[in-house]
Structure 1
Amino acid sequence: MLYALELSGEHDVLPVMEAYACMKIAGLEFKEYEVLDQCLVVDINGIRDEIESRLLHVAQRLAMSHHIIRVAGMCDTSANTILQMAENIDYSKHIDPGETFVVRARKIKHYCDFEREFIEGHVGGTIFRKRFRANLKTPDVKFRLIIGEKCIFGPVVASVDRSAYEKRLPHKKPFFYPGVLMPRVARALVNISGVKEGEILFDPFCGTAGILVEGAIIGAKVIGIEVRPMITSGAQMNLQAFGGHHDVIIGDACMVPLNDECVDAIVTDPPYGRSAAIKAESLHHLYDGAFREMYRLLKSEKLAVVVSEIDVSVFAIDAGFKIVCEYSQRVHRSLTRRITLLQKR
C-alpha cells in the first residue's frame, strides 16, 4: 500500500533519512517507491488499520515532515490530468458514509502553472458530485494534493505538530546560551540515530541539552556530559522543564565515567572553536579522545550522529567507527554543518 510523506524541504537528504529511521523504529515493513522534491512515497506491507496506527506514532516523532498521506492517486501536474485522476478514484475506500471532507493543496516550487485555490475547488467539486458532503472547517477527512514533480493525492492519515518545536526554541527555554541546534534539527538527528523509547541516548558535549531534550520527549533515557559547571546547571534546568529520564554530569568527554557498551545511540554537536571553555590540550586532542570514548561506550552495531564544522572522518575511523554517510547543511553564509552518521563495527 502506497503512502506519501510530505517533507519540509529544510534539507535535501535529512528529511528522507529521518522518515526511514522513524518507520523502522515503528516496526513498519516498507520499501522506497519514489523520492520526489519534498515528497517521499513508500510501499508499506500490512493491514491498513495496523499500518496507519503505526504511522501515527511515526508522525509523533518526525520533525522534518508535514503530513503522511494514503496515496489514492498519482499523476503528472497538468490541471486536466489531476482532475481526470480525481474523477477516477473510488472515494468509498477513503470516506465512510456520513463523513465530511475538505481538499487542501500544496504547490512545491514552480512545477505547475495554476493557483492552489483553483485545483482545490475543482477536485472538491468532483468529490461533492459523487455525493459526499464537504465541510471546510471541521471535516472528518482531509484530502491533500501535493503538487510538485508529480501530483500526489489522498487522505491525510497523520500530521506532524511542527508548532511544538517552535515552543522549544532555544530562547524560550529556561536556560539559553547562543550557538545551539534548533529543536527540529536536533529531533531529526535523534531520530536518525535510531534510538527507541526506553533506550539510552548519550551526548558527550551536551551544552544546554537541546539534543537531550528532544531525546527525552520521545521517551529515551538521556545522559549528557558538559565540562562547564554553569552550562551543566542550565542543561539540568532545561531537562527538568520538559520531563523524562535524564542525567547530566560535569565532566570531560575524553574520560567518561560510564561502563563499556552501555549506550544505545549517540548524538552530539562537539565544540569546534566556538567555545573558549574547552579544557583540552587542543581541539585535535579533544576530538581524538572523545571519539575513542564514544566508540567504547556505544553498543555494537549501534549508531552515532555527529554534527561539526570540520571533517571528523579521520577521528571516527581511528577510533574504530564505520562511516555510514556524510552530509552537509548550510545554515547561513558563514556556517555549513557536516552531519556524519557512524556505526560501531
Structure 2
Amino acid sequence: MGSVDPVFFFELSGESKDMPKAEAERCIMAECYRYNIIGNGPGYLLASFPESCLNSIADRLALTHSIGRYLGTYDPENTAQLSNAQLPEGTFAIKAKRFEGMMKDTDSQKTIRDIGNILSKKNDVDLRNPDVVVKMQMCDKIHLYVEERVIDPNIMEKRKVGERPFFSPISLHPKYARALINLTGAKKGDTILDPFCGTGGIVIEAAEMGMKAIASDFDEEMVLGCRENMDFYGLALHDHEVIDIKDIPNRFSEINAVVTDPPYGRSTKTGGEDVTYIHECAMRSIPKVLISGGKAGIILPYEMRRSTMELDSVFKQHVHGTLSRFYHVLKKPNH
C-alpha cells in the first residue's frame, strides 16, 4: 500500500464569497497529479495531496491567507478529542481567528487555554518564538491546523498599478489579476494571452507564475507601456502585438488561456468604438485563438447571458456603490 497523502487546511479570504474556494481548488488541480477535495465551509477548504505539491500551490494563490497540516475539527465543549493530535517536534503557540465574527458565543481565550493544556502534554508552549504555530479557525466549527505557508500580500502590493513606471488609474489589482488566471486552471508553461493588455497587470502575473505571457492591445502606447513594466520587473513577454481585438485570430493561435479585463468604464480608451460592440467582437475572436478545451477568464460589469463558449463558472465581486465585477470562466468545447 502507498502512503496516505496529508490533509491540508486552506484559510481563505472572505471576499467575493465562492471565488477564493474556486481559486484554491483550481490551483490544486493544476499543480497536483493526485488530490482529493475533502470539504469546505465558511472561510476554508480541506484537501489532501502529496506534500511535494504544497509550495507550488502556495506560490500561486492570491485569495488564501495561509495553508497548513490539518489537525482536526473540535467541539469547544469536548476538547478531549484532541488527545490524539500530533504536532511536529518543538515548542508551540496557538493563534485564534474568527471568520467574519462567527461563533460569537464561544469564549476563544478559554478554548485556547483548554486546547493548549492538552497539546502541552507532548510539546512545550512558547508564546514569543514558537517552533510551531497552531492556527485555530472559528467559523462553522473550530478547526485546528499547523501553519506551514503564509501567503504574503505585500509581494503583490509591490506590483500594483502605482508602483509601475507606466500606469493608468484603470487597472486591476495584481491580486485579482492572479486570481483570474488561476480560475482558468492554467499551468506553468502554458501560453496566456491578454488581448486588452493595458498596462500589463495580467501578463505580469502570468509571467511571475512561469507562464508564457502574450500581450496585445489596439493602443500602441499601452503595448509599449506594458513592455516597459515587464522590463521593470525583470519579466519576459513571450510575444506582443498592437492589434485590434477583431484581428487577433489572424495573429495568434493555440493559446492555452485568454485572460483579460476588457474596457467598460466611461474614461476607458476605446478608439471611439462602442463598448458593447467591443465585447461582442471579443467573444467572437477569443474562441478562435484558443486550443480545443482552452479556457478564458473575462471580467465584465454585468453577468454574461449568452456566449460563444461554455460557461464554466461566474463569480460576483462588489466594488463600490452599484458597480460590481463579474469574473467569468468560459471553456472552448473540445472538438
> What is the TM-score of this pair, normalised by structure 1?
0.87
- Determine if the alignment matches structure 1 residue 89 to structure 2 residue 80: no
Deviation at 1:257, TM superposition (A): 6.6
SS of alignment partner, residue 12 of structure 1: coil
SS of alignment partner, residue 259 of structure 2: strand
Deviation track 1:245-284 (CA, whole Å, cap 9, x = no partner) reads: 3143222111127556321111111112434531364333
Distance change >3 Å, CA 311–CA 103, structure 1 → 2: closer
Deviation at 1:118, TM superposition (A): 4.1
Distance change >3 Å, CA 277–CA 151, structure 1 → 2: same
Deviation at 1:116, TM superposition (A): 4.1
* 8 Å contact from structure 2 (residues 197, 222) kept in 1: no
Distance change >3 Å, CA 257–CA 243, structure 1 → 2: farther
Deviation at 1:24, TM superposition (A): 0.8
- Determine if the alignment matches structure 1 residue 344 to structure 2 residue 335: no
For residues 237-316 of structure 1, what are the structure 2 equivalents within 5 Å? 237-246=228-237, 247-256=239-248, 259=251, 261-279=253-271, 281-314=273-306, 316=307
2:9 paired residue number? 4
Distance change >3 Å, CA 258–CA 23, structure 1 → 2: farther
SS of alignment partner, residue 127 of structure 2: coil
Distance change >3 Å, CA 260–CA 164, structure 1 → 2: closer
2:30 paired residue number? 25
Deviation at 1:242, TM superposition (A): 2.0
SS of alignment partner, residue 296 of structure 1: helix
Q: CA separation in 2, counterparts of 1:112 and 1:290?
A: 48
Q: Please say which of residues 257-266 and 234-243 is displaced more in the overlay.
A: 257-266
* 8 Å contact from structure 1 (residues 75, 150) kept in 2: yes
Deviation at 1:112, TM superposition (A): 3.5
2:19 paired residue number? 14
SS of alignment partner, residue 330 of structure 2: strand
Report sequence identity in percent.
29
SS of alignment partner, residue 54 of structure 1: helix
2:182 paired residue number? 191
* 8 Å contact from structure 1 (residues 207, 235) kept in 2: yes
Give the alignment partner of residue 139 of structure 1, picking from 130, 133, 138. Answer: 130
Q: CA separation in 2, counterparts of 1:254 and 1:117?
A: 60
For residues 45-64 of structure 1, what are the structure 2 equivalents within 5 Å? 51-64=50-63
Give the RMSD, CA atoms, in angstroms: 2.1
Deviation at 1:171, TM superposition (A): 1.3
* 8 Å contact from structure 1 (residues 313, 323) kept in 2: no
Q: CA separation in 1, counterparts of 2:231 and 2:208?
A: 11
Distance change >3 Å, CA 32–CA 239, structure 1 → 2: same
Deviation track 1:63-107 (CA, whole Å, cap 9, x = no partner) reads: 10111122212124xx333x3333x2342xx323xx222211111
SS of alignment partner, residue 245 of structure 1: coil
2:179 is aligned with what amino acid?
Answer: A
Stretches of structure 2 lacking an aligned partner (at least 5 in a row) = 1-5
Deviation at 1:34, TM superposition (A): 2.3
Q: Please say which of residues 282-291 and 265-274 is displaced more in the overlay.
A: 282-291
1:215 is aligned with what amino acid?
Answer: A
Q: Please say which of residues 273-282 and 54-63 is displaced more in the overlay.
A: 273-282
1:164 paired residue number? 155
SS of alignment partner, residue 247 of structure 2: coil
SS of alignment partner, residue 336 of structure 1: strand
* 8 Å contact from structure 2 (residues 102, 140) kept in 1: no
- Determine if the alignment matches structure 1 residue 106 to structure 2 residue 106: no
SS of alignment partner, residue 24 of structure 1: helix
Deviation at 1:297, TM superposition (A): 0.7
Stretches of structure 1 lacking an aligned partner (at least 5 in a row) = 46-50
SS of alignment partner, residue 169 of structure 2: coil
Q: CA separation in 2, counterparts of 1:169 and 1:259?
A: 29
Q: CA separation in 2, counterparts of 1:205 and 1:136?
A: 50
1:48 paired residue number? none
* 8 Å contact from structure 1 (residues 235, 248) kept in 2: no
Distance change >3 Å, CA 84–CA 275, structure 1 → 2: same
1:195 is aligned with what amino acid?
Answer: A
2:217 paired residue number? 226
Q: CA separation in 1, counterparts of 2:268 and 2:178?
A: 27
1:164 is aligned with what amino acid?
Answer: I
* 8 Å contact from structure 1 (residues 105, 119) kept in 2: no
For residues 29-40 of structure 1, what are the structure 2 equivalents within 5 Å? 29-40=34-45
> What is the TM-score of this pair, normalised by structure 2?
0.90
* 8 Å contact from structure 1 (residues 217, 242) kept in 2: no
1:127 paired residue number? 119
Deviation track 1:176-203 (CA, whole Å, cap 9, x = no partner) reads: 2112111111111111112211211101
- Determine if the alignment matches structure 1 residue 335 to structure 2 residue 323: yes
SS of alignment partner, residue 236 of structure 1: helix
Name the count of aligned residue pairs.
326
Q: CA separation in 1, counterparts of 2:247 and 2:179?
A: 28
Deviation at 1:161, TM superposition (A): 1.8
Deviation at 1:308, TM superposition (A): 0.5
Q: CA separation in 2, counterparts of 1:289 and 1:274?
A: 19
* 8 Å contact from structure 1 (residues 101, 139) kept in 2: yes
1:71 is aligned with what amino acid?
Answer: Y
